[in-house]
Chains A and B, each alone.
Chain A
Amino acid sequence: MYSKILLLRFPPNIVDKAIAVNLVKRFDLSFNILKATIYPRKEGMMVLELTGTKKNYNLGIKYLKNIGVKVESVSHDIRKNDDKCFHCGACTAVCLTGALYIERPQMTVAFNENKCSACELCVLACPANAMEVNFERGILE
């Protein structure tokens, strides 16, 4: 399972095409539109969350680029919600940068955001749903 939030920019000639529907039909991806706008010069912008297998996700992105859509990733950061984290340690298995680590001997789990690459692996792996994604402010306004 793979999921990412993307900002898509459509040139005027393809705004009307049912692109999102194709992503579902051809690549078995599901999407959640967070924002969509058409600008006066008829170019379009859409922020959507795309979910599916990693392979299909990559195929979907290729398809978008081929038909002329500009795909940008939305900058975001990861935070640890300390009200939810119960310090199990499970996230340290997936965090490859060492941003999440166990403090010994007290065996509590700490988060060093300077080391975090925002890969989001911990967001799915945390059983308590304590790792949260925060998006660049303004993008969804």
Chain B
Amino acid sequence: MAKSTIKKSIEEINRKIKDGKVIVVTADEMVEIVRKNGPRNAAAEVDVVTTGTFSPMCSSGAFINFGQGKKPIKANQVTVNDVPAYAGLAAVDIFIGAAEPVEDDPLNKVHPGQFKYGGGHVIHDLVSGKKVKIKGKSYTTDCYPSKEIRKQIRLKDLPYAVLVNPRNACQNYNCAVNMTDKTKYTYMGVLKPKAGNINYATSGQLSPLLNDPYYKTIGMGTRIFLGGAQGYIAWDGTQHNPAAKRRSNGVPIEAAGTLMVMGNLKEMDPRWLVGVSMLGYGCSLAVGIGIPIPILDEEIALYTGVSDEEIYTQIIDYGADYPKGDTKSLGEVNYAELKSGSIIFNGQETQTVPISSYSRAREIATILKEWIHSGKFLLGQPQRPITSI
């Protein structure tokens, strides 16, 4: 007969954190623990598994209120460091999106464009403590007589700045190859012709949603590592697709779940929010995210024990197929193979290239582990689950 089953609640784990008795390991350490001791013992030993990912995430941005000048304005056209922000909100509220290029950017006129500065860079400059230049224009109203506003302002002096990323932490993602005979410049990086390289994007066994494939422990209100500060899961992300194809271990084999996350931009750190330029594609923001997975029972322990060899993804041709809306798989590959540096594709040894930083992902998982051990980070109680199947 089985020994008594293990059941823990988030309150119990939080009590252990406060008492300094909590056991936290990173998701890559958990692989070994589950392999050696089995999920039951792992669930008894470990209270929290920390995950991490650090990758360009275009669906990111910040809500900012930049404060009125002497005479109030209903600003409806606003730029920050000449990057247009969405201003169809109340008076001096804006949303600055990571993927927005600077106003006079040549874009892809000379292909591939460099996209040197955009919304992601604005966010990076803000968290670096640099002054940004805000310009706003408007029509006048009886209550808002001003036509123009200009400010040079630092993050700490902004009345309000909150990072709100509608789609981050993708659960799994295609890897990209280029079957044409021309170099392609994509959001998956530079792809050399004739399957010269295969680029992949997730942090595999460290990736947050690959460690809780059915979103059983997380939800709106889960406290996370976001951009170097404590942030929160706000909702399902855009394109959240729990119905994606899965293996018997529950892990999706294609793009599946996503999260909307948010947190106070003023507490964040430029190391974990970096503006990026994707050659020939556009601007973006590399975002650092880490999610603590509470080991509530044996099943969750088993999930968090998932290793790179057990996580599969599809090879998609971004040269000809993808631009036509065709995402047929040219092959299935696991993250251990991808991480090794090359795979055999169509009978040829082919270089595999990460575009997401595994070393930074591990650093995030380690920081989060330290935060929890030190007692300064308590687990959040989910208020609404992430939509699952």
With A53-B111, A86-B360, A88-B357 already in contact, 12 other A-B pairs whose C-beta atoms are closer than 8 Å: A1-B113, A1-B114, A87-B359, A89-B353, A89-B358, A92-B353, A93-B197, A102-B341, A108-B359, A125-B190, A127-B279, A129-B277
Nearest-CB distance from A123 to chain B (Å)?
10
The interface residues of chain B lying within 8 Å CB-to-CB of A52 are 110
Contact with A along B256-287 (1 / 0, CB 8 A): 00000000000000000010111110001010
> What DSSP secondary structure best describes chain A's contact surface?
loop
On chain B, the number of residues with a Cβ less than 8 Å from chain A's Cβ atoms is 37
Answer whether residue A48 sits at the interface, using C-beta atoms and an 8 A cutoff. no
A87 x B357 contact (CB < 8 A): yes
Cβ-based interface call for A59 (8 A) = no
Known: A1-B112, A93-B189, A127-B276. A87 touches B355 (CB 8 A): no
Complex Cα distance, B340 from A9, in Å, reads 49
Given contacts A1-B113, A86-B360, A90-B189, contact A128 B354 (CB under 8 A): no
- Determine the chain A residues whose CB is within 8 A of the CB of B56 once the complex forms: 127
Residues of chain B from 95 to 132 with CB closer than 8 A to chain A in the complex: 110-114, 116
Q: Is the CB of A107 within 8 A of B359?
A: yes
Query: Which of A's residues lie within 8 Å of B, judged by CB?
Result: 1, 30, 51-53, 86-90, 92-94, 102, 104, 106-108, 124-125, 127-129
B202 within 8 A of A: no
In the complex, A102→B274 CA distance in Å? 21
Q: List 21 A-B contacts (CB under 8 A).
A: A1-B280, A86-B357, A87-B357, A88-B354, A88-B355, A89-B353, A89-B355, A90-B199, A92-B351, A93-B190, A93-B197, A93-B351, A102-B341, A104-B341, A125-B279, A127-B278, A127-B279, A127-B284, A127-B286, A127-B355, A128-B286
Asked if B225 is at the interface (CB within 8 A of a chain A CB), the reply is: no
Question: Is the CB of B54 closer than 8 A to any CB of chain A?
Answer: yes
Cα–Cα distance between A87 and B56 once the two chains are bound (Å): 12
The residue of chain B having its C-beta at the shortest distance from the C-beta of A92 within the complex is: B353
In the complex, which residues of chain A have a beta carbon less than 8 angstroms from the beta carbon of B313?
A: none
Tell me what chain B mostly uses at the interface: helix, strand, loop, or mixed. Answer: mixed
In the bound complex, residues from chain A placing their C-beta under 8 Å from that of B112 are: 1, 124
Q: How far is the CB of A41 from chain B (nearest CB, A)?
A: 37
A27 CB → nearest B CB, Å: 12
| B133 interface residue (CB < 8 Å to A) | no
A94 and B359 contact, CB distance less than 8 A:
no
Separation of A92 and B192 alpha carbons in the complex (Å):
11
Q: Is B191 an interface residue (CB 8 A)?
A: yes
Known: A106-B359, A107-B358. A90 touches B190 (CB 8 A): yes
- Residues of A near B81 (CB, < 8 A) are none
Within 8 A of A (CB), among B170-212: 189-192, 196-197, 199
User: Which of A89, A125, A127 lies in contact with B354, CB distance below 8 A?
Assistant: A89
User: What residue in chain B is nearest A102 (Cβ atoms)?
Assistant: B341
Complexed CA–CA distance, A52 and B284 (Å): 24
